[in-house]
Structure 1
Amino acid sequence: MVDWSGGNDRGAAPKKDAIWAGVNRGGVAEDPVYLRNRQVAETWLTNLLSQERAAGRRVLAGFDFPFGYPAGFARALTGSDNPIDLWHWFEERLADTPTDNNRFELAGQINCAVGHGRGPFWFTPHGKQVEGLPPNKKDYVNPFSEKRQSETLAKGAFTCWQMGGAGAVGGQVFTGLPVLARLRRQFAAAVWPFDELNRDVALVEIWPSLTVGDPPEGMIKDAWQVAEVARQIAALPVDRLARMLDVQASEEGWIFGLGFEEELTAPPLRNDCFALPPGVHWTPVDEALAMLRDRLGPVTPTASVSLGDALDHIAATDIVAKRDNPPLPNTAVDGYGFSGGRAAGAHSLPLIEGRAAAGDAPGAVPDGFAIRVLTGAALPDGVDTVVLQEDVVRDGDSIRFSGPVKQGANTRKAGEDVRASEVIVTAGRRLTAADLALLAATGVSEVTVRKALKVGVLSTGDELVEPGQTANDGQIFDANRPMLLGLIRRFGHEAIDLGRAPDDREALRNRFDAASAEVDVILTSGGASAGDEDHVSALLQEAGAMSLWRIAIKPGRPLALGLWRGVPVFGLPGNPVAAMVCTLVFARPAMGVLAGAGWSEPQGFDVPAAFTKRKKAGRREYLRARMRDGKAEVFASEGSGRISGLSWAEGLVELPEPAAEISPGDMVRFIPYGSFGV
């Protein structure tokens, strides 16, 4: 990982604001490397990449400056949208030595070519004058977006148009891209996110401040940050790294780790992340839920999508309004507009010619005059009050009406609904059609969302056959897989059918290996207890990443939780009723966290019981139930083999752990299936 600099040679002794590199090989961090100027840095990088390739190792090389510019700039300068063409353009024109370079002059030339000498670049050092390059933003005009999409999402990120000053990256881009162009050519390197990452060397864009804070006392910040970024990335499992690199930004580029800050800065899921405290044999439901909530985090990558494609996606970041809604004061009714309120009594006002309708540019109305206005029209200057047309008598070129009329009547103020820069959708919300209306009304056309959580469903057991096949004596049809796949789709995730695995440990191991490269979560049913043929729990135990949670719940109890190659595995009971209840109660909220939507509790309602029940103390029970005549009925049998009760029910009655005797009319908690999202 490299912290770049656009400045001059910094001398032999290590200093801040120089070029620093952090190297991590095989999980082992090396001391940060000080590189006094860009020529020394390019030689060092060339030697490093040559050595690593000769040793048969692959290299992920990160650089802390933008790999692209806001949309449209590459085409304006090179005639092509390909950002690599822009790299070559800079390589051909930048003159660079250890003590000087022409970056400011080159920025001025670009401004004259594409921005009439007033932008998009700005800033010159004190006392330096450059033709076409504004010294500051006073007379600056930018024909392009101020920031790339990634920079608008990375709080504190600087624009690439600023050529100098504290925190600026403009000079680093000018001096860095030519070096990357040569490294890319010499080592046939892949450039993220522009190329497919299937080569020995990959170049990625980083911003250390995204995930690294202040250094320990006495250490240079740049040196500390590159070492920390290298450590964070080296600690990622290969599949997690691949998911973080799964980004679409073919013109502007992207900042590695954006949207994954919590995952990079927090310790990754450990093999013991589901471990129970010593001595715990039965886990209460609330404690089990709390442990899941606290130990999991988002695992899904982010992507920028158009508003039309955003429905049902989860917002990866807070979304802010780009303009007020309404953008201008406007009229809420058809009528006549004028200035100021009117007291009780009769009033008459002359009309000016024309009218104000929705979409018209606001005009002006002299004091003492009125104008015809239609619903939604922006209020002309001099109008702050509207009287309904039904309350007006028009007499030629004047109107008559009776007061009182309150000042501001029948009008809407600019921004009375939403103000520009106000957060209108919070991160973690699954976007609805109503959200899309709000986003569109406030000028938002693209949003950063999380890609759908990929949940693989695997059934285990020699006794299972597919519906439609012939079932021999002792075999049953697989009811769990279609049920679980359906539940996952209703939760809003991508359901991946992993099929059935026999009671063979090696076959199951191979299924797990293949699934871990394809999905974000694995859901199994069966084999989750501790018997001879419970291979799910046995494999997770063998991998050192398993905890068998015996939960104080009915139906249910055994829940095997663990990691397989960094992918969470939920080993559900094989009984369909228990599998469904455990999915709704435990897997659903956990998958919400993994998907980036956060933890959610189902909404329950206290209703009268229409049944009699004597309950023992110790376990939380869930009864299949439905509402009839304002009361909760429960299924005739509590047997966990009665699958028909799942279809009969419309939800669950939840009975807490203490002993209870329930009679008709007593209040119980009913949770409709809809509260679980199904």
Structure 2
Amino acid sequence: MSACGCTGNNLRPVDEAIEELLGRIPALPPVERVALGDALGRVLAEPLRAPFAVPAWDNSAMDGYALRAADLPAGGGSLPLAGRIPAGDGAQQVLAAGHAVRIFTGAPLPPGADSVVAQEQCRVEEGRVWLPAVSGGEHVRRCGEELAAGAPVLAAGQRLRAQELGLLASFGVARVAVYRRLRVGLLSSGNELREPGEPLQPGQIYNANRYSLAALLTGLGLEVHDYEIMADELAASRDALSLAASEWDLLITSGGVSVGEEDHLKQAIRELGQLHLWRLAIQPGKPLAFGEVGGKPWLGLPGNPAAALITALVVARPFLLRAQGCREVMAQPLRLPAGFAWPRANPRRQYLRARLEQHGGQQRVCLHPQQGSAMLASACWADGLAVVEVGQTLAPGEAVDYLPFSALLG
């Protein structure tokens, strides 16, 4: 058991908290080989070098006619046709001097040819083709032009997107080494919480966090196990956390980490393990906490739905991606003109629900009028988050950092 130095009124800066989390990454999950079709969103565990050159041979970049450029007069001219080469043919026969051959996109250039002329620039008449003047090498994809054999292609720690899967397939890779999905136990805390579909009694609310956080975590490539709602009792919190830590790689809770008398999670963490940090200089989401239970990392997110979502995207996301083996984990903000005024400096960094709108022919970052930490409707309206730094004021038109949800939700 231990206590963290998180008491008092000092708030941890957001960047410092993220750095601490990244410094406490547990051992990476084991490596497994999965079918290429099942690898979307998984993290590559081994680097890949090109097993052969790409393209593997000189080939045509379009449908047309292949020839030796030197065989054509300076002003263009007519050459006899010596056959046709569709994609998939071997093109073993040397192109006879002074001839052209019909060729299709992707088909290998026959030995001797060095150029291709697009078919729409040519005329075919009685076994001959008229071609305009051509420079050597036109419309030819050279062997190794994209990648030389043995060149680095993908690095370990890269999250596989559609384009990486296509590239792996182009090399004939059928199974790929990836890290096993990080297995997360997700717990919600609060006696007031009920599930959608259940009737609400006075003072009760539906559990929005269970669904928004489970969807976010799944989108980040994690395997999520959702537990029953924890009662606001120390013993119940202790039992639920202890069980989850015995079954999963990492624990994430929502609620129960503020300063109220019914917020028992921090004490349960202290009794079961360690509390490393609590309370950040962030708005919304100040009560965020981080520690460990039975050697398993624990992230305690705020209970308010918008605060839980935003802290999960800003603070938890880099930790969760790095814990899965990802190298690049920090979303890069765009620097854009503000479409709003922020006249009062704040002692906490603000993450404001915002979207891009056109004003006077210029794209600006505009805020939703409701920024309460419980309000998810504004997050649905928004396309991202405007970031106002500690102590910063803004006038309309001044530059502000903007984090698109598209950079945060995957």
TM normalised by structure 1 equals: 0.55
Amino acid at match of 2:398: D
Identity of aligned residues (%): 38
Give the Cα separation in 1 of the matches to 2:95 and 2:179: 49
Amino acid at match of 1:549: W
1:310 matches 2:26: no
Question: In the alignment, which residue of structure 1 is the partner of 2:214?
Answer: 485
Q: Secondary structure at the match of 1:562?
A: strand
Structure 1, gaps ≥5 residues long:
1-270
2:107 pairs, out of 377, 401, 421, with 377
Question: In the alignment, which residue of structure 1 is the partner of 2:229?
Answer: 500
1:671 pairs, out of 399, 403, 406, with 403
Give the Cα separation in 2 of the matches to 1:550 and 1:367: 79
After TM superposition, the structure 1 = structure 2 runs for residues 135-154 of structure 1, keeping only pairs within 5 Å, are none
Amino acid at match of 2:305: P
Give the Cα separation in 2 of the matches to 1:390 and 1:635: 53
Q: How far apart are residue 346 of structure 1 and its match?
A: 4.8
1:612 matches 2:344: no
Question: In the alignment, which residue of structure 2 is the partner of 1:367?
Answer: 97
TM normalised by structure 2 equals: 0.88
Q: How far apart are residue 393 of structure 1 and its match?
A: 4.5
Change in Cα spacing, 1:646 to 1:337, as seen in structure 2 (3 Å) is closer
More helix by share: 1
Q: Secondary structure at the match of 1:440?
A: helix
Report if aligned partners of 2:353, 2:386 keep a CA contact under 8 Å in 1. yes
After TM superposition, the structure 1 = structure 2 runs for residues 112-511 of structure 1, keeping only pairs within 5 Å, are 281-296=10-25, 299-341=28-70, 342=72, 344-352=74-82, 354-363=83-92, 364-394=94-124, 396-403=126-133, 405-511=134-240
Change in Cα spacing, 1:371 to 1:450, as seen in structure 2 (3 Å) is same
Change in Cα spacing, 1:410 to 1:667, as seen in structure 2 (3 Å) is closer
Deviation by residue 1:277-332 (Cα, 9 ceiling, x = unmatched): 99993211111122222332563222112222222222112222222222111122
Q: Secondary structure at the match of 1:314?
A: coil
Give the Cα separation in 2 of the matches to 1:362 and 1:319: 30
Structure 2, gaps ≥5 residues long:
none
1:538 pairs, out of 238, 257, 267, with 267
Report if aligned partners of 1:529, 1:560 keep a CA contact under 8 Å in 2. no
Q: How far apart are residue 442 of structure 1 and its match?
A: 2.3
Deviation by residue 1:354-405 (Cα, 9 ceiling, x = unmatched): 32221111222233443332222111222222233444454545444443x2
Q: How far apart are residue 523 of structure 1 and its match?
A: 0.9
Q: How far apart are residue 561 of structure 1 and its match?
A: 1.0
Report if aligned partners of 1:298, 1:595 keep a CA contact under 8 Å in 2. no
Amino acid at match of 2:288: L
Report if aligned partners of 2:123, 2:131 keep a CA contact under 8 Å in 1. yes
Amino acid at match of 1:366: A
Give the Cα separation in 2 of the matches to 1:671 and 1:626: 10
Q: Secondary structure at the match of 1:613?
A: coil
Return the structure number with greater relative CO, CA threshold 8 A, min gap 6: 2
Question: In the alignment, which residue of structure 2 is the partner of 1:193?
Answer: none
Report if aligned partners of 1:297, 1:593 keep a CA contact under 8 Å in 2. no
Change in Cα spacing, 1:333 to 1:647, as seen in structure 2 (3 Å) is closer
Change in Cα spacing, 1:389 to 1:613, as seen in structure 2 (3 Å) is closer
After TM superposition, the structure 1 = structure 2 runs for residues 84-99 of structure 1, keeping only pairs within 5 Å, are none
Q: How far apart are residue 620 of structure 1 and its match?
A: 0.8
Give the Cα separation in 2 of the matches to 1:497 and 1:278: 30
Give the Cα separation in 1 of the matches to 2:188 and 2:352: 25
Amino acid at match of 1:496: H
Give the Cα separation in 2 of the matches to 1:669 and 1:287: 18
Amino acid at match of 1:634: L
Q: How far apart are residue 553 of structure 1 and its match?
A: 1.2
Report if aligned partners of 2:306, 2:376 keep a CA contact under 8 Å in 1. yes
Give the Cα separation in 2 of the matches to 1:433 and 1:506: 46
More strand by share: 2
CA RMSD of aligned residues (A): 2.8
Question: In the alignment, which residue of structure 2 is the partner of 1:563?
Answer: 292
Question: In the alignment, which residue of structure 1 is the partner of 2:369?
Answer: 636
2:303 pairs, out of 560, 568, 574, with 574
Report if aligned partners of 1:605, 1:670 keep a CA contact under 8 Å in 2. yes
Larger Rg: 1
What is the number of equivalent residue pairs in this alignment?
404
